[in-house]
Amino acid sequence: MKISIIGTGYVGIVAAATFAEYGHDVVCLDVVKEKIDMLNSGKCTIYEPGLPELLTNNKERLTYTLDNETAFKDAEVIFIAVGTPEREDGSANLKYVYDSVNNIAKFKKSAFIVMKSTVPIGTNDKIVEYSKSLGVDFDLISNPEFLAQGTAVDDMLRPSRIVIGTETEAAKKIMEDIYAPWDCPKVFTNRCSAEMIKYTANDFLALKISYVNEIANLCEKVGANVLKVMEGISYDDRIGSKFLNPGCGYGGSCFPKDTKALHWLAGFNDCELKTVKAAIDVNENQKLTLTKKARGYFPSFLGLNVAVLGLTFKPNTDDLREAPSLVNIRLLTDEGANVKVYDPVGSEKTKEKFPTVVVCESPTETLKNADVCFIFTDWNEIKTLKPSDFDIMKNKLVFDGRNCFPLLEMKEYGIDYHGIGLGA
């Protein structure tokens, strides 16, 4: 099938590569020339394990363009995968979605349009009405993505489920044809339900993370070990073992934005989602948990040599959006700390945001002569450090936001080590 995808960000480019892998011809459209030039030269625009190989293996079925006519003229189905960033009030900014619809309308009088972008409930219905005002007949389909950065390729190739919201038999049929090669549960529903499934899934996982972090904070107060507590509840099939890792807060492009968007939407409709609001509040407080602990040692960070290990919001991605590291680096630099940072892929982007930080090529270079170390991301390059690697610090004081190391092993070696929820 001939498919066009608007947007070559995380969702768009991974979807394009996967559709091509399953035999579809895909045209990728973007407005950023640098992205299209990179893709046409064989370079990947994002850091995502397995994606460069997938793009290379399917280059005959992939076209990259800045031209709307090239993208739309032969397309049987058009996917919208543009950003929907949050506004200051937490609502979703749909400018790029409507820009896409307007551009399609210049070249198509009728079309199947599939919404991959995460949009508020009811958006697809509104776009149908809007398209009528443009004099075109668009059949909108909601097909939310469930990709986790760092495992996005596998999530798209072998998804846990595919959710499809349609209002016509023709739309349902074409989506059945597109996804015929995928062997997984396919949930067909109406558009509003499909939109709601996306928000509900992400917000539920965010709730789970925030709940675990609150339990972790209590464990520290009462002398319990949160890792054992989570192991103890994980064997209950009703709870499961995923998303039970305590830490210094969630980040990325989905959970922060989607929790705020659903909270805003509930308020707009005179509802109150107290649990979602609580998850948002807990997460914002959790991001500063390490520097708050360090206040017990340093009333001020002025003049301190600070090592920061891990910058991206999670391993195996270069995404810094809403990363806990950023708010802490801002605090440290504002107070006059000398900050050195290390991340396998996120250092240069961080340098752009904080010009005064020193970028290091290895964890050990970062630790040298440091008064204190903060760990914000559990990259394998960080988790494989040995206790002896911390000997080069001026003061072996470590605040670990991802519990990368065994507490007793670090303590016995003489490291003043503080994790999350490791009360005993």
> Would you state the pLDDT for residue 88?
85
Query: 92-126 pLDDT, tens per residue?
Result: 899 999 999 999 999 999 999 999 999 999 999 99
Fold observed for domain 2-189: Rossmann fold (3.40.50)
> Would you state the pLDDT for residue 90?
85
Residues that are catalytic: 254
Confidence band, pLDDT 50/70/90 cuts, at residue 199: very high
> Would you state the pLDDT for residue 227?
95
Nearest to 311 by CA among 321, 322, 327, 323: 323
DSSP labels for 13-48? Answer: HHHHHHHHHTT-EEEEE-S-HHHHHHHHTT--SS--
What CATH architecture is 198-286?
Answer: Orthogonal Bundle (1.10)
Query: 292-312 pLDDT, tens per residue?
Result: 999 999 989 999 999 999 999
DSSP labels for 357-389? Answer: SEE-SSHHHHHTT-SEEEE----HHHHT--GGG
User: CATH: 3.30.1360.180, 3.40.50.720, 3.90.1300.10, 3.30.465.10. Which one for 289-418?
Assistant: 3.40.50.720
Confidence band, pLDDT 50/70/90 cuts, at residue 424: low
> Would you state the pLDDT for residue 316?
94
Q: Tell me the H-state helices in 134-254.
A: 152-157, 169-178, 191-222, 226-234
How far, in Å, CA of 18 to CA of 383, rounded?
31
Query: 348-402 pLDDT, tens per residue?
Result: 999 999 999 999 999 999 999 999 999 999 999 999 999 999 999 999 999 999 9
**Is residue 23 over pLDDT 70?**
yes
Domain-by-domain residue ranges, the chain? 2-189, 198-286, 289-418
| Residue 296, both tokens | 């017990």
Beta bridge partners of 341: 308, 359
Confidence band, pLDDT 50/70/90 cuts, at residue 31: very high
Nearest to 82 by CA among 138, 21, 32, 152: 32
Mean pLDDT of all residues in 265-292: 94
How far, in Å, CA of 83 to CA of 115, rounded?
11
Q: What is the mean pLDDT of the chain?
A: 96
> Would you state the pLDDT for residue 74?
94
How far, in Å, CA of 144 to CA of 163, rounded?
7
Q: Which residue has the higher pLDDT, 88 or 19?
A: 19
Query: 207-233 pLDDT, tens per residue?
Result: 999 999 999 999 999 999 999 999 999
Nearest to 166 by CA among 128, 194, 206, 201: 194
CA angle 99, 105, 109 (to 5 degrees): 160
2-189 and 198-286, same CATH topology: no
> Strand order of the sheet with strand 305-309?
358-359, 338-342, 305-309, 372-375, 397-400, 416-418
pTM: 0.90
Nearest to 218 by CA among 376, 424, 397: 424
Q: Is 164 helix (H, G, I), strand (E, B) or coil?
A: strand
Helices 95-105, 123-133: inter-axial angle, 10-degree rounding = 40
